[in-house]
Amino acid sequence: MKKILLGSTALVAAGLLAQPAFAADPIQLQVKGYYQNLVTYSDVSDAPAGTNYKDFQFRHEGEVHFMGKTKLDNGLTVGFDAQLEIVNVGLSGGQPRDMDETYMWLEGGFGKLQLGAENGAAYLLHVDAPSFGLGFDDRNFGPVVQTGGFSRPNIAGDTPKGTYFTPRIAGFQAGVSYSPNLDGQDLSGYGFGVISVPTGSVEDIYALGLNYTGKFGDFGLRASAGYETGDVVGGGQDPETWALGLSVAFGGFTVGGAYSDSENYNSGSVSPGADGNVYSLGLSYQTGPWGISGVYQNTDFDVAGVTTANSSDEYELAAMYQAGPGIQFRGGITYTDTDLGTVADTTTVFVGTFLSF
């Protein structure tokens, strides 16, 4: 797969050298993004002794996306995307992390090549269950006690990588990604060359994705398949995960779901000896500005050396009203039932505003 990405880069370079590649216009900056604000009330039952949870909360999350592109005279389109977190998302390399995905891309008749910090092909091409609420698979908010997993393959996360997408042909599009290692989030300075990779970390991470989008009369169909794996430095149990997704739409209704199976990988992090699966099912209906949905997700993992259960069931009922372009009001109720003795069950009612611009 590394050779495929190198070959794609060479094809782009050859195209640039074959003829003058002047841009008709300089890159034009656009500002887009989203902001989500919730009011939540949660009831926590069977909480472990000595553990206290706050029931009433204000929750918010958002990003400002600085984007730009231009088309060269030889037909190649060059662009970039830098995503600024409105709400700080934690630490990266011991420092506050204010930037999320940041990458550039080249697109033409050959397909699309992405270079930088962005999720991989298996993640980006994945199809999951529909939701007009918070959802489970790609959510920005979760229950007070987070126990559920994610069906999207995402071992490398948004570490720096190269990703190649084929053109979409007869509804099909494939992608391949390569990430040198998991510890490259902060390789953005002037130093480069050989770096130290800790024993037990993961390197040479590959991801493959396949996506289909098509229509058959009044039916719309979306499907996906993905796989991702990497090598543990110094030996050990290599993580791997594969996933399938399917969604069918007809007359305002959409039904869909996803399934993933993982080894040595648990809910977004490398975890030696953790094997399990995640599956979700959802149904939504939209008429005019109104939408309703129901989603169910099951997460079940066995962890080496851990005798207690490590599984959860999550349910969501939600409604949405499109008040105007880029303005949605959403509300609903979620319930999380976990078999972990150290984690509480949670029922949450939420209402909020979802803005996009």
Q: Please give the residue range of the domain that contains residue 292.
A: 2-188+201-356
DSSP one-letter code for 9: H
Query: Strand locations in 12-135, DSSP E?
Result: 28-45, 56-71, 77-85, 91-92, 95-96, 99-108, 111-117
Element (DSSP H or E) covering residue 174: strand 172-181
How far is 320 from 335, CA to CA, in rounded Å? Answer: 18
Q: Residue 193: inside a domain, yes or no? A: no
What's the number of CA atoms in the CB half-sphere (13 Å) around residue 1? Answer: 24
Has residue 196 been placed in a domain?
no
The answer to the question of residue 194 being in a domain is: no
Residue 93: predicted pLDDT: 46
248: DSSP letter:
E
Residue located via tokens 């992405």? 114
pLDDT of residue 83: 94
**pLDDT score at 87:** 78
Domain at 16, CATH number: 2.40.160.10
Q: What is the pLDDT of residue 11?
A: 56
Per-residue pLDDT in tens (0 to 9) along the chain, 357 residues: 565 555 555 555 555 555 556 667 889 899 999 999 999 998 888 666 667 777 899 989 999 999 999 999 889 999 999 999 987 655 454 445 688 899 999 999 999 999 999 999 999 999 999 999 998 876 676 655 555 578 889 999 889 999 999 999 999 999 999 999 876 555 555 555 666 777 878 899 999 999 999 999 999 999 999 999 999 888 788 999 999 999 999 999 999 999 999 988 765 566 777 788 999 999 999 999 999 999 999 988 877 666 555 788 999 999 999 999 999 999 999 998 887 655 668 899 999 999 999
Domain count, the chain: 1
Cα diameter, the chain? 71
